[in-house]
Each structure stands twice: as C-alpha cells, then as structure tokens.
Structure 1
Amino acid sequence: MVTNSASTAIGLSASKIIPLGMTALLGLFIVGFVGFSHMEVVHNAAHDTRHSLAFPCH
C-alpha cells in the first residue's frame, strides 16, 4: 500500500490547529479574566500563585 506523505503531513498539521487554537483561546481567557477581574478573591488568588512560582508581578 502506497500513501502520499505530503497529504499525511498536511493532515497531521491540520489536526493540531484546533487543539492549539483552543489552548490559545483558553489561555487568553484566563489571563484576561484574572488580569482584569474586579473580584478581589480572583485577583488575590492569582497574585499569590504568581508569588509562589517566583514570577514577578509588580
């Protein structure tokens, strides 16, 4: 059985587009929600998490 490697490569890259796009959208939603949240609990939880990971936040 002979398969076309070019079509296989295109199929694999196309199958990765949706998961990568959804991951990017989820990340942007999380950063936007936490970064601009007016709820103090959400902001403080994110702030404490950044400090626990030694990530500079201010």
Structure 2
Amino acid sequence: MEQVTAISAVSVKGRARADVLKAAMLALVFGFGLVYATGFAHPNVLHNAAHDSRHALGFPCH
C-alpha cells in the first residue's frame, strides 16, 4: 500500500510569506547599507556620484 502525504495549504502559505519577508528585510538592509556607505564615502568621485544619484531620485541628502 502506498501512502501519500498531503501538505496543507496553510503551511505552504506561511512558508511563502516568511520567505518573502526574509527577502524584503535583506533588500532593506542592503539598500540602507548602500546609501550609508556611499553617503559617507571619502573619495570625492564616489561621493559625488552618490550625491547626484540621490538628487535624481528625489532623495533628500542635505
């Protein structure tokens, strides 16, 4: 006799939601890290490139 194990839709939905939440948090931390690192960068070229990009996106930087 063969047994078939059914996965409930609730556990799959909960797992998918947790995966989406993990990905969103990782993207948020990565994004804040990029803004912080480029905003306080010492080389003028990197800082100016980040500064111009922030203005182009409408991000208040000063």
TM-score, with length taken from structure 2: 0.65
Of 29, 36, 40 in structure 2, the residue corresponding to residue 32 of structure 1 is 36
- The Cα of 1:3 is off from its aligned counterpart by 4.4
| Whole-angstrom distance in 2 between the partners of 1:8 and 1:54 | 39
- Larger helix percent: 1
Q: State how 1:1-58 maps to structure 2 within 5 Å.
A: 3-53=7-57, 55-58=59-62
Q: Which has the larger radius of gyration?
A: 2
Deviations 1:9-39 (A, max 9, x none): 1011112133212211210110110111122
Percent of pairs with identical residues: 36
* Aligned-pair Cα RMSD in Å: 2.3
Deviation, 1:57, is 4.0
* 3-state DSSP of counterpart to 1:19: helix
Runs of 5+ consecutive residues of structure 2 not aligned to the other structure: none
State the number of aligned residues.
Answer: 58
The aligned amino acid for 1:38 is: H
